[in-house]
Amino acid sequence: MGEKYILELIDVWKIYRMGKIDINALRGVNLKVKLGEFLAVMGPSGSGKSTLMNMIGCLDVPSKGSIYLDGHDISKLYESDLAQLRGRKIGFVFQQFNLIPTLTAIENVMLPMIFQNIKREERVRKAEKLLDIVKLGDRRYHRPTELSGGQQQRVAIARSLCNDPEILLADEPTGNLDSTTGQEFMQFLRKLHTEEGKTIIMVTHDREIAKNADRTEFLKDGKIAKNI
């Protein structure tokens, strides 16, 4: 049997119309990600990294080309179908954490499960378990302002795992953390990869952070480049 690819992009273009000008954010990207792989994506500002993450994360669809997620072509799905797929298959970890400030840690972790129609008792059980895994069980009733940056990012990790996604997307996940906390976070991400078998795709500008991945791809001018 051949290797199983959880994600495959085939000649993916994303073209934005700005007045009378076409902006090619992605220009014929071809990319394969194996099940259980840890991939880092690097590139300068304006290289198309955010657009690529939007494509992979089912937040947008390509102008041309195909994207296969777990064998299904997602490039022609309606937004409602994309949203359901996104909720089941993909977990997001953002640089800004994106926690709801008025909710406690456990409520933030429970939130995405509501949209998957999971019963409250199950939401609470899973959220408590995930907060224990990220070593924040004793902070479950604290709000984001009562947590350090590293603790907020761990809540964000727990939230990203609540629907047991097949792919974890991390967009500059250490960008708002000091170097020590950033390294601790990366150790946890590696543990998720090695012990839980999670497929992780991480965008970073930091070559040292990228070294945690199995493989690094470089984007330049909307295309995969050999090196930058």
pLDDT in tens, 189-204: 898 899 888 999 999 9
Could you count the other beta carbons within 10 Å of the beta carbon of residue 218? Answer: 18
pLDDT at 1 over 50: no
Mean local confidence (pLDDT), 180-195: 87
Reported as a single tens digit per residue, the pLDDT across 144-179 is 999 998 899 889 989 998 988 889 999 888 888 888
Q: Which two tokens stand for residue 18?
A: 């700005």
Mean local confidence (pLDDT), 40-56: 91
Report the predicted TM-score, pTM, of the whole model to 2 decimal places. 0.86
CATH architecture of 37-60+78-225: 3-Layer(aba) Sandwich (3.40)
pLDDT score, position 36: 94
Question: What residue ranges do the domains of the chain occupy?
Answer: 37-60+78-225
pLDDT at 227 over 80: no
CA nearest to 126, candidates 163, 172, 156, 94: 163
Q: Mean pLDDT check: name the lowest of 82-86, 192-196, 219-223.
A: 82-86
Mean local confidence (pLDDT), 179-185: 84
Could you give the C-alpha distances from 210 to 201, 203, 214, in angstroms and in order? 11, 8, 9
pLDDT at 2 over 70: no
Q: 215-220 and 223-225: which strand pairing? A: antiparallel
pLDDT score, position 228: 53
pLDDT score, position 212: 92
DSSP 139-156: GTT--GGGS-HHHHHHHH
Identify the burial level of 34 via C-beta atoms within 10 angstroms of its C-beta, where 0-12 means exposed, 13-18 middle and 19 or more buried.
middle
Give the separation between CA 51 and CA 200, rounded to whole angstroms.
17
Are 105 and 139 in contact by the 8 Å Cβ rule? The answer is yes
Give the separation between CA 58 and CA 67, rounded to whole angstroms.
9
The 8 Å CB, 24+ separation contacts for 111-117 are 111/159, 112/87, 112/159, 112/162, 112/163, 113/162, 113/163, 115/83, 115/87, 116/87, 116/88, 116/163
- pLDDT over 90, % of the chain: 56
Reported as a single tens digit per residue, the pLDDT across 116-130 is 889 999 999 999 999
Give the separation between CA 37 and CA 86, rounded to whole angstroms.
19
